[in-house]
Structure 1
Amino acid sequence: MSALLEVSGVSVTFDGFRAINNLSFSIGAQELRAIIGPNGAGKTTFMDIVTGKTRPDTGSVTFGERSVSLLSLSEAQIARAGVGRKFQRPTVFEDQTVAENLTMALKAHRAPWRVLFWKERPEDRTRVEALAQEVGLADHLPRKAGELSHGQKQWLEIGMLLAQEPRLLLVDEPAAGMTLAEREHTTALLVEMAKTRAVVVVEHDMEFVRRLNCKVTVLHEGAVLAEGSLDHVTKNQQVIEVYLGRG
């Protein structure tokens, strides 16, 4: 399986602190991957580098079959190239309906001058309904986003990202603050999404990671400490000492 994302020899230092230390790993085109590790391990910085928010001191980050360098692109260009990011806190337009939020996400994929003259077409409505169905909000299209539960807002934001048809989706702690039923739905949603794109989940909740049933990368001090199934990495003595042993 060829890699969709290839991170090679990446390092970045902030005020003398090496947040990422010669980091190298790859993600496949249709893969679900969990990234775990203690606070300060470099998980957020890794996502910042991939999305163009932070520039590394050394190394390369390439994306797609043509191995396009993400380090040469702006944040907006990286998003247009097919990289989406879901932050831990949902950011939706609370005064707009679910349908309007998804419709605006469709518009965001167009050139700015086209948005000014944009009018909804039947196929746009069909797409919005399909996105709502995909994330489990088909019955909530007329509701204002502010009325949704925390979990539903998370799904709406995922739907808004899917509207832009990313090939790689970075998701930060999706299970935080969710009910058990919401977590189960989120698990199913992430697993289904990874059938047609790469999905990288940064998570602290080991039970949620176990439900994802995917390859796990453990980061520590900005580098890969261990990689493999959750059972494999949780038996690694170094992982136990630096992460799991902290209780």
Structure 2
Amino acid sequence: MASLLELSGVSVSFDGFRAINNLSFQIGEPELRAIIGPNGAGKTTFMDIVTGKTRPDTGRVLWGEKSVSLLKLSESQIARAGIGRKFQKPTVFEAQTVRENLAMALKAPRGPLDVLRLRPTQASADRIAAIAAEIGLSDDLPRIAGELSHGQKQWLEIGMLLAQDPRLLLVDEPAAGMTPAERAHTTDLLKRLAERHAVVVVEHDMDFVRRLGCKVTVLHEGSVLAEGSLDHVTANRDVIDVYLGR
């Protein structure tokens, strides 16, 4: 499987602290990957680099079949290229309905006049219905987003990412604050999405990672410490010493 995203030799320092240290990483499409590691391991900085929020000091970040350098693109260009990011805290439009949230997120021209002319079409209605079914919110389309549970808001935000037709989804700690039933739904949702997309899940919860049943990358001090199945990496002495033993 060819790589969709490839980082090689990437380093970045903040005020003398090396947050990412000669990091190399690649993921194909479709693929599900979990990234784990102690606080300060570089997990958030990794996502910041991929989405253009942080520029590395050295290294390459290549995207797609044509190996386009993401370091030459702005954050908005990277998003349009097919990289979507879901932060740990849901960021939905609380005063709008679920349907309106999904409609605003649909991939479409985004100039001022385009937004003013925006009219619902059958195609967009069908797309919204399909996304709502995918994320498990079909019955909640008329509800105000602010009324949703924490887990439902997380699913809505994933739906808003899907509306942008991403090839890669970066999902930050999706299991945090969820009920057991919501966690099970989220596991199923991410595994389904990874049948068609590349999905990177940053997570601390080992039980959740185990249920994902995917390849795991362990970061430590900005580098890859170990990679493989969860059983493989959790048996690694270095991983036990720096992460699991805490």
TM-score by length of 2: 0.99
Quote the offset at 1:178 in angstroms.
0.1
Quote the offset at 1:122 in angstroms.
1.0
2:102 is equivalent to residue 90 of structure 1: no
Q: 2:243: which partner in 1?
A: 243
Task: Give the distance between the partners of 1:100 and 1:244, measured in 2 at CA.
Answer: 43
How big is each residue's C-alpha offset from its partner over 1:56-80, in whole Å with a ceiling of 9 and x where there is no partner? 0000001110111000000000000
Task: Give the distance between the partners of 1:111 and 1:235, measured in 2 at CA.
Answer: 49
Instruction: Report the secondary structure of 2:38's partner residue.
Output: coil
Q: 2:173: which partner in 1?
A: 173
Instruction: Report the secondary structure of 1:52's partner residue.
Output: coil
Task: Give the distance between the partners of 1:101 and 1:241, measured in 2 at CA.
Answer: 44
Output aligned runs, 1:71-220, within 5 Å: 71-106=71-106, 109-112=108-111, 113-220=113-220
Instruction: Report the secondary structure of 2:245's partner residue.
Output: helix
Quote the offset at 1:109 in angstroms.
3.5
Output aligned runs, 1:46-57, within 5 Å: 46-57=46-57
Quote the offset at 1:133 in angstroms.
0.3
2:37 is equivalent to residue 37 of structure 1: yes
Task: Give the distance between the partners of 1:109 and 1:78, measured in 2 at CA.
Answer: 16
Instruction: Report the secondary structure of 2:159's partner residue.
Output: helix
Quote the offset at 1:151 in angstroms.
0.1
How big is each residue's C-alpha offset from its partner over 1:190-216, in whole Å with a ceiling of 9 and x where there is no partner? 000001010000000000000000000
Task: Give the distance between the partners of 1:151 and 1:117, measured in 2 at CA.
Answer: 33
Task: Give the distance between the partners of 1:36 and 1:109, measured in 2 at CA.
Answer: 35
Quote the offset at 1:153 in angstroms.
0.2
Quote the offset at 1:41 in angstroms.
0.2
2:13 is equivalent to residue 4 of structure 1: no
Count residues in correspondence: 245
Quote the offset at 1:121 in angstroms.
0.5
TM-score by length of 1: 0.98
Identity across matched positions, percent: 76
2:16 is equivalent to residue 16 of structure 1: yes
Q: 1:28: which partner in 2?
A: 28
Task: Give the distance between the partners of 2:66 and 2:116, measured in 1 at CA.
Answer: 33
Quote the offset at 1:137 in angstroms.
0.1
Instruction: Report the secondary structure of 1:243's partner residue.
Output: helix
Instruction: Report the secondary structure of 2:8's partner residue.
Output: strand
Query: RMSD between aligned alpha carbons?
Result: 0.7
